[in-house]
A and B are shown apart, each in its own frame.
Chain A
Amino acid sequence: MNQSRRGFLAKVSGALMAVTGARTVGSLVAPGEAEAYHFCGHIYTTDSCPHPTGLPRIDSRGRPLRAKDGHRVDDLGRLVDREGDPIDEDGARLTDAEGAPLPAASRTPVCTAVAQQYDITTRTDGAWYRCCGGHVRKLVDCCSTSRRRINGDRSLVGYCYKNRRVFCVMYYQTKVPC
């Protein structure tokens, strides 16, 4: 009886450990293809940084890219070429009705634009990598010492360093398959 009770308890505890372990593993694995919130990989409640075309995709220098294809965009949300001149979907320069090229605009790093817009000091701090759309994605925090975040409520520590907190989030899509 004792043996059978011990055996039963052992099975129960083993099952509990298995469930707990599975949950732990699940919590580790789930964010790898995280579907939480508004873009893949983002599992916290802080909203995106303001971005000229919406989703906060950036290049390696923090400047804005169009999310759907990684094309460069300027601060007005226009597609731009390597020189920063505005172009159409086919790569031709945007012109006025007489064919004269339209002027270029600035292309500000997204986290720097946040500092200008909200009159705070910002800095791109830490990051975390997840697998999204078959490629490794770097989740990047735009951090500040502000106690408020872009949502308007209290900010979280997130990946930020040195007493800075997350003001808003961005991402950098690598070409590394996963």
Chain B
Amino acid sequence: MLIWVLAAAALAAGVTGAWSPCGFSMVETLAPAGYAGRLRTTLVACLTFTLGALAGGVLTFGGLAALGEALGAGGTGAAAVAAAIAVVAAVGEARGLRIVPQVRRQVPESWRRVLPVPLAAGLYGVLLGLGFTTFILTFAVWALAAVSVALGDPALGAVLGLAFGAGRALPVIALAPIAGGDRGNAAHAAMAERPAILRGLRAADAVALALCAAVIGVAPAQAATVAASPASGPAADVDRFAFQRPGGPGYLRRAGATFALPGRDPALAAGLVGWRDGTRIVLADPATLTTLGTYEAPGGGAFAFSDQWVVWLVGSAQLVAQPRDATVAPRLVASARAGEQLGRPALAGQALVFHRAGRAGSQIRLVDLATGRERTLRSERRALLLNPSFDGRELLYVRSTFSRQELRLGPPVRRAPARDRRLYGTTPTGRRDAGHERGHGRHRSGYPGRRPPPLAPRPPAGISYTLWSTALGPQAAFVTRLRHRGGTTTTTAAVLSVPR
């Protein structure tokens, strides 16, 4: 939903840009009666102009989103900031206020005289697509730029840029081929002499921005933002957040400052911070990093602790637990069956929660460390239920099927995943095909009104996303998003934040 609303706003903003001095100039420049000289050249120039505008849009908005991601944009307040910016811009558009700050620059006029028109058109397209190199006709351009940074999602930024570029190109390529003719002259006169059209477009921009604000602000469940990147293995406490830098140390973030820990796989609980130092688990004061306890825990896996227990993963096949006071030796509390993996442990008091996943299916299990009793909290056929987090009251986990990956939140009792609240959803890891073979169409026969059910969303070609480890904070839920690009062996990771 968010992506469509933002794309619509960007498209409207791009179209509004046609009323700029450069927008008008492009129509004249590309017209057959203008520098193009003939219709064929006009059509080629329209194509290069469009490609340039699309590239420019992606550069600006995709780049701003990448900048946001690099700066660690997002966090729990980012969606609210983005929504507020959209509201302010929508009010400005609805009232038709003068655009400030304005960019009082134009594209170089000489290009159309000294360069082949298609080349000049392509370069003009890039400049107009960039958005901030010429006059700005709508607050939406500023607002969408700010939203791109705030949400910090490069894929979303790229889509936004494509829509903006398409919007900038549409009026030009629609009008240039007919410029000079009766219909072209009439259209030009209407654009130039009827301010109501521009006012209408700005009103449309206002509506689109208001919708953006509503989707971002009212439905924050879908507006995940990047909390840290590159990062994985999140941990959250009342006012602290920690994550693992892939291949590096763990990091702790508190009071807006982020600093490296002297170990890996950070964990937070019971007012303490923990990390793994080789085969040792170290628990320390989060303010001073003074060591308060250590546990010998060979196996190298992730761990969790509470005020009563420490539990660690050995490989991905065994979970071992030891009381915090170390009065009893470590003991095995769960082991994987053949073809099965155990997931990252989560602890609240003496309740241990983890996943079992394999070819026979997946489950989320709870072990009472005091009694050793184990029971199933969630189970589903043909789905993966992964990496639960648990704060003693609610259970957060990833549910992955062929049509969707979701972050779900529910109580620690046995029930169907469908009954849990969906905090966030994204495309599945696998990429579906079109549902029909080449030369055939979507199957419609037999369906009422010839309307088959909608197809599931799919990830971009060549890229797979996997929602992975989770953490549960008081205000937000966190999830690691793994990104694997085909043709490479590298998996990158970012931690997303979703308001609870």
Residues of the B chain whose Cβ atoms lie less than 8 Å from the Cβ of A67: 433, 437
- Determine if A97 and B491 form an interchain contact, defined as CB atoms under 8 angstroms apart: yes
Q: A77's contact among B232, B361, B402, B480, by CB below 8 Å, is which?
A: B402
A37 to B491, CA, bound (A): 39
A174 within 8 A of B: no
A60-96 with Cβ < 8 A to chain B: 66-68, 73-79, 83-84, 86, 88-90, 92, 94-96
Segment of A3-11, A13-21, A22-30, A104-112 in the binding face = A104-112
- A130 nearest CB across to chain B (Å): 13
B445 within 8 A of A: yes
Q: B445's contact among A45, A53, A79, A107, by CB below 8 Å, is which?
A: A45
**With A45-B446, A94-B464, A104-B357 given, is the CB distance from A38 to B437 under 8 Å?**
yes
**With A77-B431, A103-B341, A103-B362 given, is the CB distance from A52 to B402 under 8 Å?**
yes
A25-59 with Cβ < 8 A to chain B: 35, 37-40, 45-48, 52-55
- Determine if B432 and A105 form an interchain contact, defined as CB atoms under 8 angstroms apart: no
- Determine if A97 and B246 form an interchain contact, defined as CB atoms under 8 angstroms apart: yes
B95 within 8 A of A: no
A96 to B383, CA, bound (A): 18
Interface range on chain B (Cβ under 8 Å from partner): 35 or more
Segment of A121-129, A138-146, A147-155, A157-165 in the binding face = A147-155
Question: With contacts defined as CB atoms under 8 Å apart, how many contacts are there between chain A and chain B in the complex?
Answer: 161
B430 within 8 A of A: yes
Q: B440's contact among A38, A116, A153, by CB below 8 Å, is which?
A: A38
Q: B435's contact among A48, A92, A107, by CB below 8 Å, is which?
A: A48
- Determine if B430 and A78 form an interchain contact, defined as CB atoms under 8 angstroms apart: yes
A102 within 8 A of B: yes
A102 to B430, CA, bound (A): 14
Q: A116's contact among B359, B381, B402, by CB below 8 Å, is which?
A: B381
B338-376 with Cβ < 8 A to chain A: 339-341, 343, 357-362
Q: A149's contact among B429, B446, B469, by CB below 8 Å, is which?
A: B446
A92 to B343, CA, bound (A): 21
Segment of B18-26, B152-160, B169-177, B482-490 in the binding face = B482-490
- Determine if A92 and B489 form an interchain contact, defined as CB atoms under 8 angstroms apart: yes
A53 to B432, CA, bound (A): 4
- Determine if B437 and A76 form an interchain contact, defined as CB atoms under 8 angstroms apart: no
Q: B230's contact among A38, A48, A97, A113, by CB below 8 Å, is which?
A: A97
A90 to B488, CA, bound (A): 9
- Determine if B432 and A37 form an interchain contact, defined as CB atoms under 8 angstroms apart: no
Q: A38's contact among B339, B341, B436, B487, by CB below 8 Å, is which?
A: B436
- Determine if B447 and A39 form an interchain contact, defined as CB atoms under 8 angstroms apart: no
- Determine if A54 and B357 form an interchain contact, defined as CB atoms under 8 angstroms apart: no
**With A52-B432, A88-B464, A97-B482 given, is the CB distance from A104 to B448 under 8 Å?**
no
- Determine if B428 and A76 form an interchain contact, defined as CB atoms under 8 angstroms apart: yes
A55 to B400, CA, bound (A): 20
Residues of the A chain whose Cβ atoms lie less than 8 Å from the Cβ of B400: 76, 105
Closest to A107 in B: B359
Q: B401's contact among A76, A90, A96, by CB below 8 Å, is which?
A: A76
Q: A84's contact among B359, B437, B448, by CB below 8 Å, is which?
A: B359
- 5 additional A-B residue pairs with CB within 8 Å, beyond A37-B440, A105-B383: A38-B437, A102-B482, A104-B358, A105-B359, A106-B359
Q: Which residues of B contact A (CB under 8 A)?
A: 230, 232, 244, 246-247, 316, 339-341, 343, 357-362, 381-384, 386, 400-402, 428-437, 439-443, 445-448, 452, 455, 462, 464, 466, 468-469, 480, 482, 484, 486-487, 489, 491-493
Instruction: Identify the 4 closest CB pairs spanning chains A and B, nearest first.
Output: A77-B430, A97-B493, A151-B446, A52-B402
Question: 27 A-B residue contacts at CB 8 Å?
Answer: A37-B445, A38-B437, A39-B436, A47-B443, A53-B431, A53-B433, A66-B433, A75-B382, A76-B400, A76-B401, A77-B429, A78-B429, A78-B464, A79-B430, A83-B339, A84-B339, A84-B359, A88-B464, A88-B484, A89-B487, A94-B484, A98-B244, A102-B466, A106-B361, A108-B381, A108-B382, A152-B448
